[in-house]
Amino acid sequence: MRTRQPFERSWLACSRDRLRLLIHPQNVDPVPGYRVHAGAVRTNELASRAAVHPETLRYYLRRGLLAEPERTAGGYRSYPPEAVARVRFIKRAQELGFTLTEIDTLLHLAAGGPDSCDRVRALAADKIGDLRRRIADLQALEAGLRSLVATCDRPRAERDCPILHQLGQPEEP
Answering whether pTM is above 0.85, one says no
What rounded mean pLDDT belongs to the chain? 77
Residue 70, strand partner residues: 78
For the stretch 62-87, pLDDT in tens is 999 999 999 888 889 999 989 999 99
Could you tell me the domains of the chain? 21-107 (1.10.1660.10), 123-173 (no CATH)
Q: Which amino acid is it at 107?
A: L
User: Is it the case that residue 135 has pLDDT exceeding 80?
Assistant: yes
Confidence of residue 11 (pLDDT cuts 50, 70, 90): very low
Share of the chain above pLDDT 70, in %: 65
For the stretch 79-115, pLDDT in tens is 998 999 999 999 999 998 889 999 998 888 887 766 7
Q: Measured between alpha carbons, how far is 61 from 154 in angstroms, rounded to an integer?
A: 56
